[in-house]
Amino acid sequence: MDSDNNKKISFFSAVCLAIGTIVGAGVFGTIPAAAAVVGNGIEWAYFVAFLSIIVCYLPQMVTISTLPAPFTLYMHATRIVNPTIGYMQVIYGFNYVFILSALAGVFAQYASVYINVDQKVLAIASLLIFAAITSFGVETNAVVQNIMVVCLFVALFIYMALGAPHLDPQLVSVGSVIAPKDMTLVAMGSAVALLSASLQGGISIAFYPDEIENPGKTVPRAFIVATGACCIVFMLVSIITIGVLPMDQVDSLLDIARIVLPGWVYHYFIIAGAIFAILTSLNGVFIASGHVGSATADDKVMPKWFGKRNKHNVPVNTVWMMAVVSALLVVTEMPIGTLLTAYSLLNLFCLLILFIPALKVRKLYPHSYRHASFKMSQPVMIVMTVLGVAVCLWQLFSTVITLNRVMIAIIIAWYVVWYAFFFGRKAWLKKQGFDLDAHMREPYPDWVENEKHFAEIDAKEDAEKAQATAKGYEMARAGEAKKRVNE
């Protein structure tokens, strides 16, 4: 048992994997795009995005802490809500192709400074290289991730320290940040949805809790620590980004870095900051998407091809399939903002679904809940759920109204194809004598075993408490009787 635990990811490595997944698109892909929508209101947008993520995901952290499982969010949605509705989590997991494509595109923008090759080629090369790296296993990736995360945070702090003296009071000031001009609720909602889509990347560690030490405790804490740390850094970086040049002159952070960073520092920022940030995100997303394939294949929702593992226990077919599809998206030259919007829309729908397991887990698995490392009282859970649903609906409305008809049609077609596959596979398996719906409703075996185990512990503890209470009561009665005799 100990030897197995030593091979699992530690809390620090889990935090680094979460931070690495967040940082890539969070700073280098979305700040200019979000600032173009909301201007100096980006600080408020980041703050609201962080609050919305906490409000929306803390209830899910209770469920994750109580009922960890491979591709946890999918298991909760299918087992506790409904198989057909829960299947949206599968689409959400494979929608990581949009994030991978966006990350590869941003990587190519920065890498082209040093490599005189077509940006499409650089983007595709980054996808293929990190698909290969992911094939060596999550433990190796975690070590690489830790090193890169430290280097990129150093780069971001250098960017902030050397950029501060270049801030233009005409572009950014305390007053313009506290009370930004021309900011509407719709614009704020659109910016928050965009920033939330990138800031919430830390949830990817919930896709492989079986690889993490004490996942019920580690996953919620690592997610909160990573998300909070990244939000603070992003807000500081965005001040520099909007305060040196007018936003119509800023396509990426490189435009600011050229002005504020001298010589070798500028090159360090590109390599250890921008490039490492993108690579850590590619790394984290590939790990998570691989586990989407293995978990759904093990559950027979996807064909067993998706779950085939190599000697490093990595579902390589899924990893390489994700790389190839992402590369095809790169070829289409879809804008990064569009890719992130397509991803965030389904994510918001999936979040709405996941409030249901969070509300039901206490009743369905009372003993597991009692022993969970992360939990909250039912009144707090209800308040968080109401707020979370309101936030999701606000962001959904603000995002949908910004889409043109063609984009809406493409997104709908994408989901129709996925559900056509799902219903087709259910029908095919039915002919083979296998009821996929019934299987997807069965509780995950570990949940049943843990509930039984904790029930036995609770029964023993309750019996001991009852015995101690009875003994105390008898001693009190004996003391009273002795006192009466003495009197």
Distance of CA 357 to the CA centre of its chain: 18
Q: For position 173, what pLDDT does the model report?
A: 82
Q: Which residues pair with 9 in a beta bridge?
A: 212
- CATH code given to domain 2-443: 1.20.1740.10
Q: Would you tell me the crossing angle of helices 276-298 and 316-332 to the nearest 10 degrees? A: 130
Question: What are the structure tokens assigned to 45, written together?
Answer: 């947008």
Q: CA 245 to CA 167: how far, in whole Å?
A: 8
Between CA 266 and CA 238, with CA 98 as vertex, the angle to 5 degrees is 35
Can you tell me whether residue 45 is helix, strand or coil?
A: helix
**450: Cβ–Cβ under 8 A, 6 or more apart, which residues?**
365, 368
Distance CA 467, CA 340 (A): 59
**Over its length of 487 residues, how does the chain's per-residue pLDDT go in tens digits?**
333 444 678 888 888 888 877 876 556 667 887 887 888 888 888 888 888 888 888 888 899 889 988 888 899 999 999 999 999 989 888 888 888 888 888 788 778 878 888 888 998 998 998 888 888 776 666 677 777 778 888 888 999 999 999 888 888 888 878 878 767 777 787 788 778 767 877 887 877 777 788 888 888 889 889 999 888 988 888 888 888 888 777 777 778 888 888 888 988 888 887 788 777 777 778 878 888 888 899 999 999 999 888 888 888 999 999 999 999 988 887 666 666 666 777 778 888 888 999 999 999 999 999 998 888 888 999 998 998 898 888 878 877 777 777 777 877 888 899 999 999 999 999 999 999 999 999 999 999 999 999 999 988 887 877 777 767 777 767 666 666 666 5
Q: Taking a C-beta distance cutoff of 8 angstroms, is the pair 341, 80 a contact?
A: no
What pLDDT score was predicted for residue 476?
67
The phi, psi pair for 476, rounded to 5°, reads: -65, -40
Q: How high is the pLDDT of residue 186?
A: 75
Amino acid found at 332: T
Distance between CA atoms of 240 and 257, rounded to whole angstroms? 10
DSSP class of residue 10?
Answer: P
Residue 197, CA atoms < 13 Å, CB-side half-sphere: 35
pLDDT, position 75: 92
Q: No. of H helices and E strands in the chain?
A: 23, 0
pLDDT at position 3: 37
Burial of 468: CB neighbours in 10 Å, binned 0-12, 13-18, 19+: exposed
Q: What single-letter DSSP state applies at residue 80? A: I
Predicted pLDDT at 278: 76
The predicted structure's pLDDT at residue 162: 92
Res 448: pLDDT: 93
